[in-house]
Structure 1
Amino acid sequence: MTSKKILFIGDSITDAWRNEDSEEIGYGYVRMIRDYFITTYPNSTYDFINKGISGNRISDLATRWEKDVIQLNPDYLSISIGINDVWRQLDHPEMEQIHPEMFEEYYQQLLTKVKTDTKAQIILMEPTVIEEEILSIGNRMLKNYVEIVHKVAKEFHAKIVPTHQAFLQYLQSNPAYKLTTDGVHMNSAGNTLMANSWIRAVEETIKPSGEKSSQSVEM
């Protein structure tokens, strides 16, 4: 049976210390998704690849797109980007910034390349949060970038993972428990919310056809 290649690309939230992991999958939401499919579909032949790099903005993805995406020709491509495009405007305003118009232009260029040069089905994750406060400056700025992700998803017939919405819904309940270590980087609970959101949005699309879930095995 041919292995289905699922490639995740993004920033530090996706990276999750993958270079310190012998499996190179990292210790974040990508590992949780991989482990879910291993245990739920034990006869599956999936190849999960993590190409997250800490600090990346969408312009950084563009510089490595050929090597880390196109040449690998995945069956499914999951993209999580946008946090640093906004965060750098707040913590390093002296840098050349990726404003919404440029963010959209980059995204269109990258997805056009995927459509023309690979067989990949595209999965776009909404950027998560900047500070665990719904009305923080970062989250207000992030709204435009989330809207762009939805716009290009519609244009390129991509699957949307509503990660930003999942975090906002959690924060609306005024929880005592935090999801991040610093307002951006996930703790285990934040990674769990991301993984669960991805699985709910994508599982029916990528689950092995004809294979029963291990959860449905009769004893």
Structure 2
Amino acid sequence: MKKNEKLLFIGDSITESGRYEDSEEIGYGYVRLIRDFLQITFPDQSPIVINHGISGNHITDLVSRWDRDVISVNPDYVSISIGINDVWRRLGHSEKELVYPDMYEEIYRSLIEEVQSKTKAGIILAEPTIHGEDIHSKGNKMLLPYVEAVRKLGAEYKAILVPAHQAFMEYLNQRRQRS
């Protein structure tokens, strides 16, 4: 990354992480950690970091704000982290606008293709994390096809893949073994 390149993060609450309460609009989660790491490690080459995460968003919400929050920004890199809330809806909390794995993949694919056709941005895809700390929960089992869709799209579009789900599951497995 180079100075003045734009690194845009978009997704749900995991990305938002308090950005509306933060005067820098970066938030207090992983986006801040990445921004701070880049500033400290590459002080003369640190990119402009933009956080466009919105709590509660689903993949369909990204569609409705994609032009405004991604394409019009014309980022050099776009990092997408979405999917937890799509599973949350399927767990019976809302029957409205359910997005099943095949539809999730199709919508996700169209967002990536739009970025590729309208910008020169590099693509970074983060696997959906976990749905609670019980690795055998219904939510975590339902999440697996969404994780697989992100992995498939990452390979297909030669994106950088952040194995967030894998990392969380490994951590929880290690923690369980120590108990």
- TM-score class, shorter-chain normalisation, is over 0.9
2:152 corresponds to which residue? 151
> What SS does the corresponding residue of 2:50 show, helix, strand or coil?
strand
1:140 corresponds to which residue? 141
1:118 corresponds to which residue? 119
Aligned equivalents of 2:139, 2:40: Cα separation in 1: 37
> What SS does the corresponding residue of 1:102 show, helix, strand or coil?
helix
1:95 corresponds to which residue? 96
Which runs of structure 1 show a deviation greater than 4 angstroms over 4 or more consecutive aligned residues?
none
Instruction: Provide, for residues 67-88 of structure 1, a one-character-per-residue CA deviation record: whole Å limited to 9, x for no partner.
Output: 0000111011100000001011
Identity of matched residues, %: 56
Letter in 2 for 1:95: K
1:62 corresponds to which residue? 63
> What SS does the corresponding residue of 2:128 show, helix, strand or coil?
coil
CA displacement at 1:133 relative to structure 2: 1.2
2:168 corresponds to which residue? 167
Instruction: Provide, for residues 126-179 of structure 1, a one-character-per-residue CA deviation record: whole Å limited to 9, x for no partner.
Output: 000001011111110100000000111122111100000000000001259xxx
> What SS does the corresponding residue of 1:34 show, helix, strand or coil?
helix
Aligned equivalents of 1:175, 1:7: Cα separation in 2: 35
> What SS does the corresponding residue of 2:130 show, helix, strand or coil?
coil
In structure 1, stretches of 5+ residues that fail to align are: 177-219
1:11 corresponds to which residue? 12
Aligned equivalents of 1:94, 1:102: Cα separation in 2: 15
Q: Trace 1:20-35 onto structure 2 (pairs within 5 A).
A: 20-35=21-36
In structure 2, stretches of 5+ residues that fail to align are: none
CA displacement at 1:4 relative to structure 2: 1.0
TM (normalized to structure 1)?
Answer: 0.78
Aligned equivalents of 1:39, 1:48: Cα separation in 2: 14
Give the superposed CA RMSD.
1.4
Q: How many residues align?
A: 176
Letter in 2 for 1:90: L
Aligned equivalents of 2:117, 2:163: Cα separation in 1: 26
> What SS does the corresponding residue of 1:56 show, helix, strand or coil?
coil
Aligned equivalents of 2:3, 2:77: Cα separation in 1: 14
Q: Give the structure with higher Rg (CA).
A: 1
TM (normalized to structure 2)?
Answer: 0.94
> What SS does the corresponding residue of 2:56 show, helix, strand or coil?
coil
User: Greater CA deviation, 166-175 or 78-87?
Assistant: 166-175
Letter in 2 for 1:134: I
